């Protein structure tokens, strides 16, 4: 089965969720294979050839296209079904982006991500700057060539490391000083250097350097960090020179509604294509989390994609999509795999290290079309789960496919205007005992759905 943009659906999500598709290619001016970016056409054709030919194609130079646009194809109340045309792929939204921190996905090959129909992934500028080093990536021809990845890439700026590496940093108006956890050397990251590095890396979407503080921080520093992020965005805009890259600003403001609203308005003035919502998923109450996402979405332009950073829990993905967000990223699928757990429709998580699976010869998830579920049983995975190179690989394949499939279901529900039916089914799967969290119920009432 192929959609009107020429990409096969056979590996994207379960057949039951693909009853009808929108003509997003037509909306974006790409309505047949001859008008698609060449590497995308090759990406489809190569999986009809041998695996050796796939590797050859993936290693070839990636083409570029300057036709970049975001089109909203359909609405379901606040939720949007869109198509984001980037130089290396057309990204269906809402979308989940797997994370390849240092230019590689833990436990997965680029060919496997293409086979799953992953259109975009995230890499981290801070870690890439230290290892392998942005100069080496530049000499290799950019991230796409170095990774053998033919589709889109978003690079994070490194701002998150202000929180995750808090003991190793100091911040002033000029920028951020880090002590490298790899070399011990002090490194200064300014908005200008951040943009220069990301231009060398060559991602399709790049992020501003923002002043990130822990989401539970209170006091004057919250407004100070928000205002500094706005000023740094101005500097990033001046430093940004590549026309084939899209620069996103990042909304900060902690859990303060007034600061978030002000920052959303100011960043919207400075944004050219899309905007990110940052500073969340750091331990705040879920009742605060969803309200900040809703507030930001309500105060952002309808025409721009909205990227909620660091979101990967299935329930979070669904609720944020229905609130009007379009893009998400998280290490959750691969990190969960490394702990021996699989994401499943019924019950959320399956801990395959438990002895109850030692003689269970069924697949992880009967609904899943991934390589692991087609070829291996729970019993086999239980047996090899401690052999990290194999067990982690097979579970990572499944977990990433699970997240991509979930977003397919969300897009279908929006496109076919049956969000309420999908929502009821999803919550019944995730919470079979009926223990739907209170914050989820509150968000659903806010969105005028009935479950």
* Binding residue positions for substrate: 156-160, 210, 252, 279
User: Are the C-beta atoms of 407 and 399 separated by less than 8 Å?
Assistant: no
Considering 5, 92, 156, 204, which one is annotated as catalytic?
A: 156
Residues comprising the binding site?
Answer: 156-160, 210, 252, 279, 368, 370, 373, 398
Determine whether 329 is an active site residue: yes
d(CA 415, CA 426): 17
DSSP sequence for 113-174 = HHHTT--EEEEEHHHHHHTT-HHHHHHTTSHHHHHT--SEEEEE-STTHHHHTGGGEEE-SS
Judged by DSSP in three states, 169 sits in strand
Beta bridge partners of 207: 248
User: Are the C-beta atoms of 72 and 82 separated by less than 8 Å?
Assistant: yes
User: Are the C-beta atoms of 54 and 111 separated by less than 8 Å?
Assistant: yes
How far, rounded to the nearest angstrom, does the alpha carbon of residue 373 sit from its chain's CA centroid? 23
Reference 57, options 144, 120, 150; nearest CA is 150
User: Are the C-beta atoms of 28 and 69 separated by less than 8 Å?
Assistant: yes
- What the block records as the tokens of 231 is 């000023």
d(CA 381, CA 364): 9
- According to DSSP, the β-strands at 306-308 and 275-277 are parallel
- What the block records as the tokens of 442 is 């509150």
Measured in degrees and rounded to the nearest 5, phi and psi for residue 419 equal -60, -45
The CA–CA distances, whole Å, from 106 to 123, 167, 268, 311, 383 equal 12, 26, 35, 18, 21
Determine whether 156 is an active site residue: yes
CA angle 204, 209, 212 (to 5 degrees): 125
Residues comprising the binding site for Zn(2+)?
Answer: 368, 370, 373, 398
d(CA 201, CA 243): 14
CA angle 409, 410, 414 (to 5 degrees): 115
Judged by DSSP in three states, 130 sits in helix
User: Are the C-beta atoms of 117 and 12 separated by less than 8 Å?
Assistant: yes
Considering 329, 365, 405, 412, which one is annotated as catalytic?
A: 329
Reference 260, options 236, 225, 284; nearest CA is 225
User: Are the C-beta atoms of 78 and 447 separated by less than 8 Å?
Assistant: yes
Give the active site residues.
156, 329
């Amino acid at each position: 089965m192929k959609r009107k943009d020429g990409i096969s659906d056979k590996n994207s999500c379960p057949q039951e969720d693909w009853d009808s598709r929108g003509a997003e290619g037509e909306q974006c001016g790409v309505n047949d294979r001859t008008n698609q970016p060449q590497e995308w056409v090759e990406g489809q054709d190569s999986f009809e050839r041998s695996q050796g030919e796939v590797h050859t194609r993936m290693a070839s130079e990636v083409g570029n296209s300057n036709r970049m646009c975001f089109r909203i194809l359909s609405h379901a109340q606040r939720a949007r079904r869109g198509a984001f045309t980037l130089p290396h792929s057309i990204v269906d939204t809402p979308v989940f982006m797997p994370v390849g921190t240092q230019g590689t996905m833990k436990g997965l090959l680029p060919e496997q991500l293409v086979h799953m129909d992953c259109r975009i992934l995230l890499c981290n500028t801070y870690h890439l700057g230290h290892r392998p080093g942005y100069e080496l990536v530049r000499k290799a021809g950019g991230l796409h060539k170095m990774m053998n990845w033919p589709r889109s890439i978003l690079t994070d700026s490194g701002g998150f490391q202000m929180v995750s590496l808090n003991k190793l940093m100091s911040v002033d108006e000029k920028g951020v000083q880090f002590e490298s956890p790899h070399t011990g050397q002090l490194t200064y990251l300014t908005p200008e250097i951040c943009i220069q590095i990301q231009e060398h890396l060559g991602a399709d979407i790049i992020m501003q350097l923002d002043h990130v503080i822990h989401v539970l921080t209170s006091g004057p520093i919250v407004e100070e960090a928000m205002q500094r992020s706005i000023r740094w965005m101005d500097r990033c805009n001046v430093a940004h020179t590549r026309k084939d890259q899209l620069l996103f600003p990042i909304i900060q403001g902690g859990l303060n509604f007034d600061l978030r609203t002000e920052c959303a308005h100011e960043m919207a003035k400075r944004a050219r294509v899309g905007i990110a919502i940052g500073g969340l998923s750091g331990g705040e109450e879920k009742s605060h989390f969803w309200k900040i996402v809703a507030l930001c979405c309500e105060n952002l332009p309808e025409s721009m994609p909205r990227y909620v950073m660091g979101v990967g829990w299935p329930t979070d993905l669904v609720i944020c999509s229905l609130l009007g967000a379009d893009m998400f990223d998280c290490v959750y699928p691969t990190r969960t795999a490394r702990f021996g757990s699989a994401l499943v429709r019924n019950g959320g998580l399956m801990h395959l290290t438990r002895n109850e699976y030692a003689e269970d010869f069924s697949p992880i998830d009967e609904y899943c079309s991934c390589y692991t579920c087609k070829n291996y049983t729970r019993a086999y995975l239980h047996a090899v789960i401690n052999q990290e190179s194999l067990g982690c690989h097979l579970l990572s394949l499944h977990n990433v496919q699970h997240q991509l499939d979930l977003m397919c279901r969300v897009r279908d529900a929006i496109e076919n205007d049956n969000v309420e039916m999908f929502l009821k089914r999803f919550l019944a799967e995730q919470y079979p005992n009926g223990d739907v969290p209170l914050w989820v119920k509150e968000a659903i009432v806010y969105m005028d759905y009935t479950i």
